[in-house]
Structure 1
Amino acid sequence: MAKVNFYINKKNPDKEYTINVFLQNGRKGKFKKSTGLKIIGKHWDDLKQAPLPESKTGERNYYQLRRKLPKLKAKILESTIEANYNNETINSEWLSKVIEVFFGRSSADIDFIYLSDYANHFIDILPYRIQKNGVTGVSESTVKLYVTTLNKIIEFEKLKRKRFKIEEVNLKFHTDFIQFLSKVQKLNLNTIGKYIKCLKTILKNAKQYGLKINKEVESDAFRSTKEDIYFVTLNTDEIDKIFNLDLTNTPYLDNARNWLIIGVWTGARVSDLLKLDNSNINNNFIEYKSQKTKQKIILPIHWQVQSVIDRNEGNFPHKISNQRYNDWIKEVCKLAGINEVCKGSVFITKKTKSNKKEKTPQRKKVGTYPKWKLVSTHTARRSFATNHYGVLPTPVIMSATGHTTERMLLAYIRKTAKDNALVFQEFWKKEKMKQQKETKLKVIKTAN
């Protein structure tokens, strides 16, 4: 019986090592070969033959590695069984070829005419993709989005009982795929739009690779879907209510509240926020590297954030998951009386005959709800940007949020032409009042 194991020749835990594969083909032989994949020694779990969990590897992201190793193992075992059945010679060169084909390093044995095959290859090369800003590789969230897109394509193909070739992706495919994601998968139009955008990027990349794509893909009609997004922000008065709320009897809510306060005064994405600790403080400044954009963010510590740290014996709050943070800050805001009725959308979960909620939520339902129900993990970041816009210079806000252009920032906080006109109006009112005050002082002075 064939067995496959992964290992590294770890000597120095702080050095990077190549992950090797060991194939034992029953009594027919043992073979070793490099996978070409690398990992820091201290981040490798010898027992599980996999990278350690993300929480133990710091900034190192091994999502792609955790995804690929089990698939590679399955591919080698499958190929070994097939080769033994066909009486093929299995040796180190054979093993090397299987590995090369799996990773797309040898195009001779791979036919990229199928959409799912090329999409899988596209995901494999994401860590080596050079972005417009010169950075090599993409964030974990980007990889996950493309992986999910591929999974949606595969599910769509199963429903249609057909593997689609790249050239077969046309406007009809576009329409049918959107309909599948909406009616079968119960996804909202903005989520569907993300998958369509990924699909189009994969196809454009295939064209650059030299493959022929359908001309309809490049038409204006082959576009992403979208719908209005409703979100809420917390103003400074509401933030003060949350900050002053007595949660002594509910430590878990007190901890979530503390993270929320840090969030509204740092503008950090939740993926960065919940990882902050004392090592991110340097001379009264909070410093961290954005997981998504790889930008270095530096900003002063707000007095409420310092108070949170002081009340926690000089430490950041206890670590919690994104989901618990999302759920608990709603409870915190409810207790703080954040009850203003706002338009927004919430997930409506379906109930079974036994009156138990299903795990998969249905489409978001738009309506009017108390604001606390609409608060989510993203509320703190949007509140930070919104509360400081028009008060601080836009480039200063962008340096904290990590937005690279003013257009991106304004789109993020949904500032319209009317909003900007109101800022002008308020400024001119202050200028007029200032002028009237100066005129009055001159009149009084002349009279004296």
Structure 2
Amino acid sequence: MATLRFLLKGNNNPSTIYARFRHGRNIDFIKSTTLVINPKYWNKPKGTVKQVAEFVDKKNLQNDLNALRTTILNSFNDHYSNGGIINSDWFSQTIKQHFNQDSKTDLNYLLDYAKYYKENLNSKVLVSGKTGVTANTLNRYKTIINKVKAFESKQKKRYTFENVDLRFYKDFKNYLLNVEKLSLNTVGRYINYIKTICIDAEKYGIKINRAVLSGEFRATKEKVNFITLSETEIQTIFEHDFSKTPYLENARNWLIVGVWTGARVSDLLQFTSNNINNGFIEYTAKKTDQKIILPLHPHIKEILLNNDNQFPREISAQRFNDYIKTVCKDAGLKQLVYGSKQKKIKKKVWRKTKGEYPKHELVSTHICRRSFATNHYGKLPTPVIMAVTGHTTERMFLNYVGKTAKDNANVLNDFWNVQEQKKQNKTPQLNVIKNQTA
């Protein structure tokens, strides 16, 4: 008698649900259904989804499993009664056809699994307990899939996970650097995506090349020369008269709000009067879901006062990015500085090119957040700044503001010099002698 049972392998969250089909002594197949679940919602003895209130998708997932069961058993009855071959390929194809998956998909291949991995990111349960990822994360994996596809096309080869070795690492890295003309940091990010996909595949029983876990299969890095606005420059921009160009005045005001809040542009440009509470700005960061509270800087207070207690007019991130370059140019930030600027290298392809450029040309929306962090570093306790920027570790924060061990040593040296100077300038204590009275 044919039987079908669903099961999990391991306790990873999420875990893939497998289907086990048995018939007689010689037929015993186990295949992934591609459906996933948090193990705490799985009834192991019964091989079903626990119907508990806290799992909102319980009915849908169980219905999917029930429908798959019906498809498999009906397919078996049709094949078996007509003398068809019942083997592992039949079982695998039946599952794929049920979910309308491409019959050519083979998850042992890097590109196929990368697509599968991306498609399931929206159901991925993160460490925080939140389900799903941001649109930016999905776009990043879409990009790496396209890079792998282009690389395989150039190599005229499809790579299985066992092919992802140090030779792959070298060839893929050289392709991204020399053909795609990407920076070392961007290449390093793509290398890390490849490692993430490989590690995930291994969790679900796919054999990978162990070289991907070695120290040699590492991300490339280079020091980033980022641009910030000093407090003097911020004051200059704040005082500059943009009254004849209202759209630049509006962008300037958003820039000022940004450098004194350290908010990401995705949060910054969404500020309204509803975010103000008793002299504080309160908001929840979209990227990290962190609640952030900070006082109103005097510059922000003045902008609100001159605008009926409202934040500047709504503006898109792209226009804000474009306009603040002109804002900084009109305010006189034209000195040559070293940095990276987007340049067109061929049709529809832009890449960052290093060199010396007028400072205003290197200004982008991210200057708000970096300026806040760098201008307050060393003046406020680092945890206070991190509470505003949303960095979860001091290491991440120091890397963000570009501080090195030498920078920290200089801060300590300056502190000791100030303390020593206070000792040397200490006023001698005078004893008051009471005059005698006649």
TM range, normalised to the smaller chain? 0.7 to 0.9
Please list the CA deviations of residues 343-378 of structure 1 after superposition, one character each: whole Å capped at 9, or x if unmatched.
Answer: 211123348xxxxxx4422x3222222322222111
Residue 232 of structure 1, CA deviation: 1.5
Counterpart among 320, 340, 360 of residue 349 in structure 2: 360
CA distance in 1 between partners of 2:155 and 2:383 (Å): 50
Aligned match for 1:390, one of 359, 370, 378: 378
Find the residue that maps to 2:294 and give its secondary structure. Answer: strand
Question: How far did residue 292 of structure 1 move?
Answer: 1.2
Structure 1 residue 219 displacement after superposition: 1.5
2:124 is matched with 129
Write the letter of the residue equivalent to 1:398.
Answer: M
Match of 2:174 among 157, 174, 179: 179
Q: Displacement of 1:388 after TM fit?
A: 0.9
Q: Cα deviations across residues 257-285 of structure 1 (Å, max 9, x unaligned)?
A: 11111110110112221222222222222
Q: 1:277 aligns with which of 255, 264, 272?
A: 272
Q: Is the 8 A contact 1:128 1:136 kept in 2?
A: yes
Once the two structures are superposed, the pairs formed by residues 87-106 of structure 1 within 5 Å of their partners are 100-102=99-101
Aligned to 2:30: none
User: Residue 328 of structure 1: CA displacement?
Assistant: 1.5
Structure-2-length-normalised TM-score: 0.72
Give, in whole Å, the separation in 1 of the partners of 2:406 and 2:181: 35
Aligned to 1:403: 391
Q: How do 1:32-431 residues align onto structure 2 when only pairs under 5 Å count?
A: 100-102=99-101, 111-350=106-345, 358-361=347-350, 363-431=351-419
User: 1:206 & 1:121 partners in 2: Cα distance?
Assistant: 10
SS in 2 for 1:345: strand
CA distance in 2, matches of 1:419, 1:444: 44
In structure 2, the CA distance between the partners of 1:110 and 1:265, relative to structure 1 (3 Å rule), is same
Question: Is the counterpart of residue 437 in structure 1 residue 425 in structure 2?
Answer: yes
> Which residue identity does 1:436 align to in structure 2?
Q
Structure 1 residue identity aligned to 2:224 = I
Counterpart AA for 1:366 = K
8 Å CA contact 1:101–1:109 kept in 2: the answer is no
Q: How many Å apart are 1:132 and its aligned residue? A: 3.5
- 1:428 and 1:445 mapped to 2: Cα distance? 33
AA in 1 matched with 2:181: K
**What is the CA deviation profile of residues 141-186 of structure 1, one whole-angstrom value per residue up to 9, with x for unaligned ones?**
2221111111111122222333222221122222222222222222
TM-score of the superposed pair, with normalisation by structure 1: 0.71
Aligned AA for 1:100?
F
Aligned residue pair count: 343
Q: Distance in 1 between matches of 2:323 and 2:383?
A: 33
Helix, strand or coil: the match of 1:343? strand
The letter of the residue matching 2:379 is: V
After TM superposition, give the deviation of residue 249 of structure 1 in Å. Answer: 1.3
Letter in 2 for 1:269: R
Contact 1:122 1:202 in 2 (8 A): yes
Distance in 2, Cα, partners of 1:122 & 1:322: 30
Q: What is the match of residue 26 of structure 1?
A: none
Distance 2:251 2:291 in 1: 25
Gap change, CA 1:424 and 1:97, over 3 Å in 2: closer
Distance 2:367 2:138 in 1: 24
User: The residue matched to 2:99 in structure 1 has which SS?
Assistant: helix
Identity, % of aligned pairs? Answer: 50
1:328, 1:95 → 2: CA distance?
A: 56
Name stretches of at least 5 consecutive residues in structure 2 with no aligned partner. Answer: 1-34, 36-92
> Contact between 1:288 and 1:297, CA under 8 Å: does it hold in 2?
yes
Deviation at 1:101, TM superposition (A): 4.4
| Larger CA deviation: 158-167 vs 114-123 | 158-167
- Paired with 1:394 and 1:199, the residues of 2 have a C-alpha distance of 34
Superposed CA deviations along residues 363-417 of structure 1, whole A, max 9, x for unmatched, are: 3222222322222111110110111111111111111000001111111001111
Distance 1:280 1:121 in 2: 39
How many angstroms apart in 1 are the aligned matches of 2:421 and 2:173? 55
The CA deviation at 1:445 is: 7.0
* 1:341 and 1:370 in contact (8 A); partners too: yes
- Counterpart amino acid of 1:360? V
Letter in 1 for 2:244: N
Q: 1:388 is aligned with what amino acid?
A: H
SS class of match (2:229): coil
Question: How well do the aligned residues superpose, as a CA RMSD in angstroms?
Answer: 2.6
Partners of 2:104 and 2:360 in 1: how far apart?
56
- The one-letter amino acid of 1:371's match is K
Conserved 8 A contact 1:343-1:366: yes
